[in-house]
Structures are given as C-alpha cells and as structure tokens.
Structure 1
Amino acid sequence: MADSADNVKSLSIENGDDELDKWLPITANRNAKWWYSAFHNVTAMVGAGVLSLPYAMSQLGWVPGITVLLLSWIITLYTLWQMVEMHEMVPGKRFNRYHELGQQAFGKKLGLYIVVPQQLIVEVGINIVYMVTGGQSLQKVHETVCGECKPIRLTYFILIFAAPQFFLSQLPNFNSISAISLTAAVMSLSYSTIAWGASVHKGKQPDVEYGLKASTTAGTVFNVLSALGDVAFAYAGHNVVLEIQASIPSTPDKPSKKPMWKGVVFAYIVVALCYFPVALIGYWYFGNDVADNILMSLEKPRWLVTVANIFVVIHVVGSYQVYAMPVFDMIETVLVKKCQFKPSMFLRLIARSSYVALTCIIGIIFPFFGGLLGFFGGFALAPTSYFLPCIIWLAIYKPKRFSLSWLTNWMCIILGVLLMTVSPIGGLRQIILSARNYKFLS
C-alpha cells in the first residue's frame, strides 16, 4: 500500500516544483499565442477519424448518422469549453494536465486512478492508430504511383512512417512542435477537402445503396456500435487541451482561457468544415460500398489521390507528436521523481525512442484501421471527451439540482456512458473479423 501511495505521489506534479516544470515538455515554455491553440486543436481533432466518417454513415444510415455527428460536435464543444474554464478555477494555480484537474475534483489518489489510465489509453491508442494510418497511406501512394510494381508489405510502410517520429520525438516541448502542428493542421483541411472533392469528381456510383450495411440483425447491431466508436474517435482533442492551454501565458488581467477559447472556436469551425462535407458527400457518392478509410475508395484522378495520401502522412506525423507530448511528460515525470534519474537529453533519447518503437510494433501487429477506431473511440475517447469533464464540473462547481447546468451535464454523462459501454463491442468484433484473414507481419 505504501508503495502504491509513493507511486501516486511520484506522478503528482505541484506548481511549486519550478525546476522540474522548466524541464518537462508541458510546462517548459509558456509564450504561445491564441493561434497556437487553434492549430494544435485542429491537429489533435481532425485526424484519421475524419476518413472513417463516411463508413460510419454507411453503418448508421442518413438520419441516425447526421444526428450522431451533430450531437457529438455540440457535446464535445461544450465539454471542451468546460475544460478551458476549469484550467484556472483556483486563483493562482493552473491545472496544466488532465490528471491534475482530476485530482482537484476527486482527490490526490482517486483523481490519478480515474484520469491517468483513460488518458494514456487514448493517447497511446491514437499513436498506434496513426502508425497504421501513416503506413496505409504510404502504401496507397506506392500502389497508385506504381501500379505495376511488386506489392510491398504494410509492415515496411509502417516502419518507414515511424522513422521520422524517432527524430521529431526529441523536440523538447509543445511550442517547439508548433511549426509541425501548423503544417499538420493545413494538411488536415487539405486532404479533407480532397476527400469530398474527389468523391464529387468520381461521381455517384452505379447502383449505390444506402440501406444498412449488414445483412443480418446481429451484424447491423454490431456495425452500429462500431460506427458510434468511429464518431467518438473523431472528437479526441480533449485529451491534450489542458496541456495545450498550459503553453499559453496567463495573468490576472489576461487569463489564458480567453486566447485558448478563441483558438478552440476557430478550431471547431475548421472541424465542421472538414467533418460534415467528408461524411455526407462521401456517403452520398459511395453508399454502402465506401471503405473504412474513404481515400481507399478513390482511384481517380490518380495524382489527386496520391497528393491526398501524402497530406495524410504529413498530418499524422504532426498529430502523432501532439498526442505523444503528454505521454512523454508522464514518462519523464516518473523517471525523474520515482526512479531518481537526472533530467537530461540522454534520458529523453532513451525514453521517447522506446515509446515510439513500442507504438510502431503494436501497429504492425494490429493493423486494423476501422476496428481500432471503433474500439479506442468508445472505450477511452467517450469518457475523456464526452462525460468526464461534466463529472468534474459537477464535483467542483456543484450546480443547483435540476438547473440548466445540472441537467445539461447529466444528459452528456448519460449519453457518454452509453457510448462508452456499447461502442467497443462493435470495434472488437470488427478487429476479430479482420484478424481472420490476417497473416502476422504480412
């Protein structure tokens, strides 16, 4: 029990620990502007998930699909606003990390046990999915450019994608990856536009069908559950929002929440411009035949499909780093405070390189794009994006029972818990079905 308490203590980072804070990647630099918030949030939010939205629509149908997309956009914008507001709820203190906010709401020990596992599952899970996404996009570029060439295993493309991550992972903090994040944000808007624009160019497919994809009741149910997870995966930015806000300067006269919220609103406008056209137009033109990554459904014009997949690779290179930075922060905190290592470049080299290698290996073993989205989206992203901020808000602010705030938060909690409960089932089933025909390391 004592060892457990020490372990919890080692993870807890107090604002007074200035020396460590100046070294750790989340708090090392606090001179970010509001537009840093904007493109960091776009990079975090608009990622691999947008490419699966037409496929999710094919499993849900028109009315349920549009309803789920719109509700998710509204609910997650609301919970994101809550997190921005709670960043500096205690005068003179900043909650720089998601688990610090959890500790404020639930206590030192319980807050860590509730938040840290969920946040790690989200961030590590997304990094694994992005390894697969980057590899698949590189493979698609190769197949499109060189259709007559001998096929190359997906394993090798994942390894190629992982190579630059070993170098980029050595950048010290959030602000040091700002140029990479900005490039990634531009790429996300670009390939989203290409995805729906190329769909329009290709035209509506012959005999397109919009009925439910599965032929059996059981299959339909599982597909719907998996689709809910796909949608949840598309709204993942909450897991790094406090860490992004921590990089913005703050004074009593100019609190960080003002520029942060300005950036969030801009980012969510971009999210809407990416998500809804891709989901609706992609489903309209391909119907039930759309692939779980819409770019895989596009063949012509070849040059445009190639460019789109290159943009995807560039984007997920940057997005990988945005989600990896909080993980690096946790790893380095434990190594310094618990294991008594001295902060150094060598420590970062070993720790971060080991993490990149681990996510690469897992991505090679489980390269099931659609199933991974559904599983991780429901299991981990639903709590951290849909209802955990609401629970924290209720625990800290204690709004009057049956007030608008109380009712709104409880509605989000109920919907989020249902999403977390049912959607991983569909994603896990899809992984199992994909694994039947999968040859290890092929």
Structure 2
Amino acid sequence: MVSDGTMSTQSQNPPYGGVDKTEVDKRSEKEKAIDAWLPITSSRNAKWWYSAFHNVTAMVGAGVLSLPYAMSELGWGPGVAVLVISWVVTLYTLWQMVEMHEMVPGKRFDRYHELGQHAFGEKLGLYIVVPQQLVVEVGVFIMIFASVHFVLSHLPNFNSISGVSLAAAVMSLSYSTIAWTASLDKGVQPDVEYGYKAKSTVGTVFNFFSALGDVAFAYAGHNVVLEIQATIPSTPEKPSKGPMWKGVIVAYIVVALCYFPVALIGYWVYGNGVDDNILVTLEKPTWLIAMANMFVVVHVIGSYQIYAMPVFDMMETVLVKKLNFPPGFMLRFITRNLYVAFTMFIGICFPFFSGLLGFFGGFAFAPTTYFLPCIMWLSIYKPKRWSLSWITNWICIVLGVALMIVSPIGGLRSIIVQAKTYKFFS
C-alpha cells in the first residue's frame, strides 16, 4: 500500500471476464499532494470498527424516533413488511457498493460520484449522482448546532472525526434503547387503537406515502459508504472490502437493534395515538426523556460531520483541482465556515424544511440507497438475463423506483399545508 492509496495489481484477478482493466497511476506529484490533502483520500489507516460506527452514525439518526408514527400510518402488516424489506434491500445494495469500490485492479472508487462516472460515463455519472448526493448530505442534519460545527468542521478528514462518530453511534443506540424500554415499561395503553388515524381514504393514502418516506429516510446511509471505505488501507492480498464488510455487518446488527424494537414496541404500546417523536409521547420519567434528548443532540452533531465531510471534499476538490486555488488552512477555513453558515441560514429561514427534505429527499434517498447501486451493478458486471443476480437487482430497482415516485408526495402535501401559515424567519 502506498501513501496515495493506489494499489499494486499483482495477484489481482480481473473482474471483467478475464480482461485486465489495470489502471497505472499517472498522477503528477502535485496531484498526489492534492489527494493527500483532500479529506476523503488524505488518510488510509482506518480499522474495520471505524466502518462500523461511521455507518451506524450515518444511518441510525433521530429518524428512528419517528418509526412508531410511520408504523401507525402503514399498519401492522405493511409496516413490518416495509421495515424488513428495507433492511434487506439496503444491506444488499450496500454490499454491492463495498464490492464495487475496488472492482478495477489498481484503482479505488473513493467517492460515490466516481463510481457513477465509471458506470455511466464522465459527465452523465456526475449529473446522476452528485445532485442526489448533495440533497441528502446538505439536508440531513441542519440547524441549531452551528456554533459547535464552526469548530468541528475544521477537523481535516474522516479518521479525525472518528471519536465524534463513535460517541454519536453510542448515543444513537442509547436513545433508541431508552425509547423502546420506556415504552415497554409503560405497557399497552388502555385506549390503544391500531386503525388508521385519517378519516378519509385520501388522507390515509397521503399518510401512507409520507410514512414510506420516513422509512426511506431512516435507511439512508449509502451516500457516504464509499467515502468511509476509502479510509481503510488496501492491498491485493487484503482488499478494503474485507474489513469494510465486517464493519457493515456489525452496523446493520445495531440498526436492527435500534429500528425494530422502537418501531414495533412503540406502535404496540401507543397505537395510532403515538406522536411523530416517540419521546414526546413518553413524556415521563422526565429525567430519562431529557437524557434521551441530550443523546439525540450529541448524535446529530456527529452525524452532521459524517455527512458534511463528502461535501467538504467536493467543494475543496473543485476549488483546488478546477479553479487552481492553493490547498491550505485558509481555503478550508473559509469554505467550511461558509457551508456551516449556509446550512444554519436555511434551517432558520424555513420552518417547514423537513417537508422540503421529504419532497426532494424522495428523489435522492430512494435512488442512492435502494436502486442506483443495482443499476451500476447491472451496467458494469452485466449478469446473465434471468439469473439470480439479474432478477434480484431488477426487483430492487422496481421497488426503489416506486418508492422514489410516491415518497415525495407526503412531503409535498406537508409543504402545501404548512406554507399556508408560513412566515419568513419564523
């Protein structure tokens, strides 16, 4: 393993039917120096457990607390099915991305858009991936904590935020555990009802679509997977996919331990009377709920950094490689502070930003998480028609496209309803 992260190609089996697609590193010393400065490619010494807690931090967000509410809008049968199918499908597509990270001997696809460019072409790959990725990464965790992020955002790369990410991962498991154990302790409420809350068919359908969007949001962690894997060292004998996949499995076990108990127990105890945040419904004991909310705050701080790092990398790459700004402290200081200020401004200005996120996010979460990896897989590996791989990928694509179409509808309805009483800077 050399310092710039490229791999020797000895003893590497070509994945394209025996055709060796080895790419020789032809970068200049200046280009190597830039890559050694950029946040995604500057450090390649991460361990497998970094993958575990980075992925937990990226995926298990405060959205888990809305899963009982999503269950109330989906119902028992559809709700359980959507949760389980989403867990299986997103684990499968995440495995595909881990595998594709080093599909070309001698090259690592360190960023989601680089994989997109390999699959769809230089320009089309950028147009397909980058807008969707930015919607997710810029919008996932906005507001409130800007003062903290003005400091944390200057940590240079993924490995430098590993401590923050670990704390965030522990927090997500902690507040999820508090949510379902406190619900279980209260027991099924005497007036519990499991029917749909909406009085009309139209309302029920809109709520159903909105709930699908909530679940899709909960499983949206793929946008930073390749960037996380890029921090793991790799050799032909020990490619990065080994430790990365080990970390992913641990992460998905934690995801299951967080999502399923919270969603199922929360809905079982409160039925359709549950709030869109289970902690609000619980109310007491006050000290325990306050502790859970504090854990949420710590987690959101960590997850903001995880999602911001690829955005920092995009901005700094353009400024240094395209616009020829010299890499250094001042460039990073200015660009990252402007980004934090921008996200804070958006959060303050638009009180219905969650609705906007639900609307636009439907076009981003579903593709990048549920089916874009499948399209890349089909495009690159070209499995035989009607083979198990071909069928599996097309099933994921159909489900993902359906989700992409219907999930923004709930967000759009939320925007329309909230915009009626909207006041700027409210």
TM-score of the aligned structures, taking structure 1 as reference length: 0.88
Partner of 2:337: 353
Partner of 2:285: 301
1:81 to 91, 95, 118: 95
Q: Name stretches of at least 5 consecutive residues in structure 1 with no aligned partner.
A: 1-13, 132-157
Partner of 2:116: 102
1:8-407 mapped onto 2 (5 Å cutoff) = 16=27, 17-128=31-142, 131=143, 158=144, 161-368=145-352, 371=355, 374-407=358-391
Q: Which amino acid aligns with 1:203?
A: G
Is the partner of 1:208 in helix, strand or coil?
A: coil
Please tell me whether the aligned partners of residues 93 and 374 of structure 2 are also in contact (alpha carbons under 8 angstroms). Answer: yes
- The change in CA–CA distance for 1:15 and 1:387 in structure 2 (over 3 A counts) is farther
**Higher normalized helix content (fraction of residues):** 1
Please tell me whether the aligned partners of residues 387 and 417 of structure 1 are also in contact (alpha carbons under 8 angstroms). Answer: yes
Q: 1:135-167: per-residue Cα shift (whole Å, max 9, x none)? A: xxxxxxxxxxxxxxxxxxxxxxx2xx2210110
Q: Following the alignment from structure 2 to structure 1, what is the Cα–Cα distance between the partners of residues 242 and 157?
A: 22
Partner of 1:140: none
Q: Which amino acid aligns with 2:192?
A: V
Q: Following the alignment from structure 2 to structure 1, what is the Cα–Cα distance between the partners of residues 26 and 351?
A: 40
- The change in CA–CA distance for 1:437 and 1:292 in structure 2 (over 3 A counts) is farther
Shift of 1:369: 7.3
Q: Following the alignment from structure 2 to structure 1, what is the Cα–Cα distance between the partners of residues 257 and 396?
A: 24
Shift of 1:349: 1.1
Q: Following the alignment from structure 2 to structure 1, what is the Cα–Cα distance between the partners of residues 186 and 289?
A: 11
Partner of 1:10: none
Q: Following the alignment from structure 1 to structure 2, what is the Cα–Cα distance between the partners of residues 376 and 110?
A: 20
TM-score of the aligned structures, taking structure 2 as reference length: 0.91
- The change in CA–CA distance for 1:108 and 1:82 in structure 2 (over 3 A counts) is same
Task: Give the root-mean-square deviation of aligned CA atoms.
Answer: 1.5
Q: Following the alignment from structure 1 to structure 2, what is the Cα–Cα distance between the partners of residues 224 and 322?
A: 30
Partner of 2:13: none
Partner of 2:9: none
Please tell me whether the aligned partners of residues 135 and 361 of structure 2 are also in contact (alpha carbons under 8 angstroms). Answer: no
Q: Percent identity?
A: 77
Please tell me whether the aligned partners of residues 379 and 424 of structure 1 are also in contact (alpha carbons under 8 angstroms). Answer: yes
Q: Which amino acid aligns with 2:377?
A: W
Q: Which amino acid aligns with 1:212?
A: Y
Shift of 1:288: 1.3
Q: Which amino acid aligns with 1:112?
A: L
Q: Which amino acid aligns with 1:64?
A: P
Is the partner of 2:140 in helix, strand or coil?
A: helix
Q: Following the alignment from structure 1 to structure 2, what is the Cα–Cα distance between the partners of residues 441 and 194?
A: 34
Please tell me whether the aligned partners of residues 219 and 369 of structure 2 are also in contact (alpha carbons under 8 angstroms). Answer: yes
Q: Following the alignment from structure 1 to structure 2, what is the Cα–Cα distance between the partners of residues 180 and 373?
A: 25
